[in-house]
C-alpha cells in the first residue's frame, strides 16, 4: 500500500467508525424510549451501561483523526473531512448521552402510571430518529439535498416540543403527585428536541464538508 493509499484507508476507516458510532447512538435513543414506554427498568440500565462503548468509540475516532492530522498534514477536502468527523462524532456522542438521561428518568418514573403526553413525546422521538438516520445516510452519500430536508423535519420537532411542554404544564391540575413525572417528561421531551438539533448540526457539517462553506440550516 502506498503512503497515499494508507492515508485514504485510515480516512475511510475513521468514517466507517463514525457510522458505527452514529448507529449505536440512534439505537440507544430508540431503546431508551422503548424502556420508558414499556416501563422496563432493566432495558434502561442497559442503555446506561452501553453508553460506555459509545464514549470509548468517540475517543478512539478523535485520537485516530488527531494522529492523521499530525502525521499527514491534510488540506482542503481531506482536512474538512477530518474536522467534520470529530464534530459529528461529538454530536452523536451527545445523542448517546441524551439516551442515558432518558434512561435515568425512566428509572425514576418506575411504574407510576404514565401521563398521556407520552404519545406526543413518542412522535418527537420517531421524528428525531428519522432525522438522525437520514443525516447518516446523507453523510454516507454526501447528499446535501437530503441534508437540507432535515431542517424541515426539525421545525416539526420544535412545534411538537412547544405543544408537549404547554400540555404538561396544564396536566398538573393541582395534583402534586403528578409534578415529578411532569418534570421528568418535560426533560425527556427536551432531550428529544436537542437530539433533533444535533441532526441539524450534522447536516450543516455535511454542507461544510461538501461545499467548504458554512450554512445555517436553522434560519
Partner 1 sequence: MTTIITNKSVSGATADQTAKKAVYETKQLNLWYGSNHALKNIDLEIMENEVTAIIGPSGCGKSTYIKTLNRMVELVTSVKTSGEILYRGRNIFDQDYGVEELRTRVGMVFQKPNPFPKSIYDNVAYGPRIHGIKNKKILDEIVEKSLRGAAIWDEVKDRLNENAYSISGGQQQRICIARALAIEPDVILMDEPTSALDPISTLKVEELVQELKKDYSIIIVTHNMQQAARISDKTAFFLNGEVVEFDHTDTIFSNPSDKRTEDYISGRFG
Nearest to 93 by CA among 51, 130, 132: 51
Nearest to 127 by CA among 31, 212, 25, 197: 197
Query: From residue 80 to residue 119, what is the string marking binding to partner 1 with x (rule CB under 8 A)?
Result: x---------------------------------------
| Shortest separation between residue 46's beta carbon and partner 1, angstroms | 39
- Say which residues have a Cβ less than 8 Å from residue 187's Cβ, sequence separation at least 6: 101, 105
| Shortest separation between residue 84's beta carbon and partner 1, angstroms | 13
Cell numbers linked to 71: 502525521
| Burial environment of residue 73 by CB neighbours within 10 A (0 to 12, 13 to 18, 19 or more) | exposed
- Please identify which residue in 4, 111, 145, 173 interacts with partner 1, judged by CB under 8 A: 4
- Say which residues have a Cβ less than 8 Å from residue 63's Cβ, sequence separation at least 6: none
Q: Which is nearer to partner 1, 164 or 209 (CB)?
A: 209
214 forms part of the interface with partner 1 (CB under 8 A): yes
70 forms part of the interface with partner 1 (CB under 8 A): no
Q: Which is nearer to partner 1, 60 or 215 (CB)?
A: 215
Q: Which residues bind partner 1 (CB under 8 A)?
A: 4, 7, 73-80, 148, 151, 207, 212-217, 219
Amino acid at each position: 500500500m502506498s503512503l497515499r493509499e494508507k492515508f485514504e484507508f485510515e480516512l475511510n476507516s475513521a468514517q466507517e467508525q463514525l457510522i458505527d458510532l452514529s448507529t449505536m447512538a440512534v439505537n440507544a435513543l430508540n431503546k431508551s424510549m422503548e424502556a420508558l414506554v414499556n416501563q422496563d427498568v432493566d432495558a434502561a440500565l442497559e442503555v446506561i451501561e452501553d453508553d460506555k462503548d459509545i464514549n470509548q468509540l468517540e475517543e478512539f475516532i478523535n485520537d485516530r483523526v488527531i494522529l492523521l492530522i499530525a502525521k499527514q498534514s491534510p488540506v482542503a477536502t481531506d482536512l474538512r473531512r477530518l474536522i467534520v468527523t470529530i464534530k459529528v462524532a461529538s454530536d452523536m456522542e451527545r445523542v448517546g448521552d441524551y439516551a442515558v438521561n432518558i434512561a435515568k428518568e425512566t428509572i425514576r418514573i418506575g411504574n407510576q402510571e404514565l401521563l398521556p403526553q407520552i404519545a406526543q413525546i413518542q412522535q418527537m422521538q420517531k421524528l428525531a430518529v428519522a432525522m438522525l438516520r437520514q443525516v447518516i445516510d446523507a453523510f454516507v452519500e454526501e447528499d446535501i439535498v437530503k441534508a437540507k430536508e432535515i431542517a424541515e423535519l426539525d421545525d416539526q420537532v420544535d412545534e411538537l416540543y412547544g405543544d408537549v411542554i404547554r400540555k404538561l404544564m396544564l396536566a398538573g391540575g393541582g395534583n402534586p403527585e403528578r409534578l415529578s413525572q411532569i418534570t421528568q417528561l418535560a426533560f425527556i421531551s427536551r432531550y428529544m428536541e436537542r437530539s433533533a438539533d444535533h441532526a441539524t448540526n450534522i447536516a450543516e457539517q455535511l454542507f461544510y464538508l461538501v461545499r467548504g462553506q458554512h450554512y445555517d440550516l436553522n434560519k
